Amino acid sequence: MVGDTLSSVAVIGGALVMWRWQWYIVDPILSILICVLILIWSWRLLRDSVLVLMEAAPRHIDIELVRRELVRGVPGIHDVHDIHVWEITSGMYALTAHVRVDDIPVSATMAIRTQTAALLDDRFDITHAILQFECQR
């Protein structure tokens, strides 16, 4: 919307310049500038869309940091491995991971799951986490 507004303002400004001073070269110059801006915005949109469709890991999320934060920040977690993070849609992230805990009942993993989800949401904006709990035997 800002881009559309700026383009419109530039076109109106160009029209005023041409009307006042008859500098008709302003018209093609503005057209080329607006085309370049549209190409840049299109390229970014295309790149982001391809990354979402390819389920690429978001660049700003450090998987090793996620692992360390979970082991340090959630009591009961001994290790986290096989972590996958991807972007479902713009700004919405999902995660799958294996979480190693003690040999505890399934009901006891609920508190760990809740704390893990809260930490992932707070620290990394990951709002959808699928966890596989494992124990060492």
Decide: 78 and 102 in contact? Cβ < 8 Å: yes
Query: Which region among 5-13, 31-39, 55-63, 94-102 touches Zn ion (by CB under 5 A)?
Result: 94-102
Shortest CB 99 distance to Zn ion, Å: 9
Query: Which region among 21-29, 32-40, 47-55, 97-105 touches Zn ion (by CB under 5 A)?
Result: 97-105
- The three-class DSSP label of residue 63 is helix
Shortest CB 128 distance to Zn ion, Å: 20
Q: Which of residues 18-57 bind Zn ion (CB under 5 A)?
A: none
Query: Which region among 27-35, 63-71, 93-101, 117-125 touches Zn ion (by CB under 5 A)?
Result: 93-101
Kindly report the backbone phi and psi dihedral angles of residue 101, in degrees, each rounded to the nearest multiple of 5, phi listed first: -130, 180
CA distances from 127 to 31, 71, 85, 117 (A): 42, 18, 11, 7
Shortest CB 103 distance to Zn ion, Å: 15
Question: Alpha-carbon distance 8 to 2, whole Å?
Answer: 10
Binding of residue 98 to Zn ion (CB under 5 A) = yes
Which C-beta is closer to Zn ion: that of 84 or that of 98?
98
Using H for helix, E for strand and C for coil, what is the string for 72-131?
A: HHCCCCCEEEEEEEEEEECCEEEEEEEEEECCCCHHHHHHHHHHHHHHHHHHHCEEEEEE
Shortest CB 43 distance to Zn ion, Å: 39
Shortest CB 97 distance to Zn ion, Å: 9
Question: Alpha-carbon distance 74 to 115, whole Å?
Answer: 6
Judged by CB under 5 A, the number of residues near Zn ion is: 1
Binding site for Zn ion (CB under 5 A): 98
